[in-house]
Amino acid sequence: MVSEKNVNARWLREHRDHNETDVILIDTRPVKDFHAGHLSGARHFDTFPFHHTDTSARGVAEFDAQLQWIFSALGITGRETVVFYESESGMRAARGQWALEYAGHPKARMLDGGLKAAAGERLVTNVEKFAPSDFHLNQRAEILATYPHLLEQLGRRDVQIFDVRSDAEYFSERVRAKHGGAIPGSYHQDWTAALAPDGTVKSPAELRAQFEALGLDPDNEIIPYCQGGYRAAHAYLALKIAGYPRVRSYLGSWAEWGNRDDLPREHPRRK
């Protein structure tokens, strides 16, 4: 599948070596996996260690500065198509895609299905040299949710909060912060429900039907969250593929909300 958010292995084969198309591949797997074998020409950025759980104005400014430094170090200019990948359509690659889109890059994509879908591609161990850039961040604040924004939106009918953690986390059977629970009024579905058995993202029609059956209204603003913002970024991508126009990923997620004493919580229980 090819969309404004992801590309498939066929698109990659047709475009990566085309003289008229500048494609940068970013391998988001752990560094040991990258060095064991990666797509030719890929640059490495494991998105997972870069947790950011402060979405105050100061915290967001620090996050912006961090992204500007990272994308400059990766040699990204804003003129190329940047394709993030991992083993399948996972949260690492989705986090990279969302972060670069938030930073204002017009062509941030994820490789749908990851290396599993690109099984015919030869993996290499050599790391090609590339020059750093001077990436200029152009913040797209409308796709990021902060805790003050969430607090202001609680209870509004045109805003829906989407918890994409596991059932155990949602029902406080696995507590990964100072407090268990969920953001009040959250709709819940594990983020992996957006994946097909082959590790690709489900089709737009399947995703749309799934989200609407859950009760998510395409006319509303949807705010997905998880523990650290990675699964939320994947839900952001899935919702956008499904045609939801107003989606914000909550960067701080439960690692921020659940560790504060001054924010409201509810405690869902299994029926």
Q: Which amino acids are annotated catalytic? A: 226
Residue 132, both tokens: 């750093």
Residue type, 270: R
Is residue 188 classed exposed, middle or buried when 0-12, 13-18 and 19+ CB atoms within 10 A define those classes?
middle
Geometric angle at alpha carbon 210, from 234 and 212, rounded to 5°: 105
State whether residue 233 is helix, strand or coil: helix
How far are the Cα atoms of 11, 26, 112 from residue 109, in angstroms, in the given order? 12, 10, 9
- Strand ranges, E, within 64-122: 81-85, 108-111
Contacts of residue 25, Cβ cutoff 8 Å, sequence gap at least 6: 16, 39, 41, 42, 43, 83, 85, 111
State whether residue 188 is helix, strand or coil: strand
